Structure 1
Amino acid sequence: MFDPKKLEQVAKQIHESMPQPVKELGNDVEQKVRQVIQAQLGKLDVVNREEFDVQTQVLLRTRQKLAEMEQKLADLEAKLTAKAEDKDA
């Protein structure tokens, strides 16, 4: 769901900003930071960019079809109204 390289970069930046004694704990701290970040990001109700773009395209197609159907319905209503007026005349 999330780019592992970006996650690793953030974890590394956090690790580098820590005081030297904490840094000396090394990979264990970096691993724990990565796990905490992953856990917190996993709790968020988000989608990745690819899913978002796909759903945006689906929505655009759906809107287009809806507009076409609305136009067809308006045309049919106009025809029915015209027939009813011709019948009454």
Structure 2
Amino acid sequence: MLAPKALLDALSDHASRLFNAEKPLPRSEFEAQLKILLQGAFSKLDLVSREEFDSQMAVLARTRARLEALEAKVAELENAARPERQD
């Protein structure tokens, strides 16, 4: 995987070639080439879709809630297991 700066530099170089071509590309061809260029750049990054991100956030929230409930239960059991002091 390229470093972010190297990836952005490569992307910039390719985009410059598209913009500065001797013969200007038709808009639809330019858009298609730019889309291919961006998809290639994004595929080199460790990205996830918004849907996957939201799904994992929901899983994390449920896991966190279960952990907090278990921590409270453990604390309750520890308190119940302690012998009471007699002063």
Q: TM-score, normalised by structure 2?
A: 0.63
Which stretches of structure 1, 4 residues or longer, exceed 6 Å deviation after superposition? Answer: none
Structure 1 residue ranges without an equivalent (≥5): 1-13
Bigger Rg over Cα: 1
Q: Which residue of 2 aligns with 1:68?
A: 69
Higher helix share: 1
The aligned amino acid for 1:45 is: D
Aligned length: 69
Partners in 1 of 2:62 and 2:27 — Cα distance?
53
Q: Which residue of 2 aligns with 1:6?
A: none
The aligned amino acid for 1:85 is: E
Q: Which residue of 1 aligns with 2:50?
A: 49
Alignment identity in percent?
Answer: 35
User: Relative contact order (alpha carbons < 8 A, sep ≥ 6): 1 or 2 greater?
Assistant: 2
Structure 2 residue ranges without an equivalent (≥5): 1-14
> Over aligned residues, Cα RMSD in angstroms?
2.9
The Cα of 1:31 is off from its aligned counterpart by 3.4
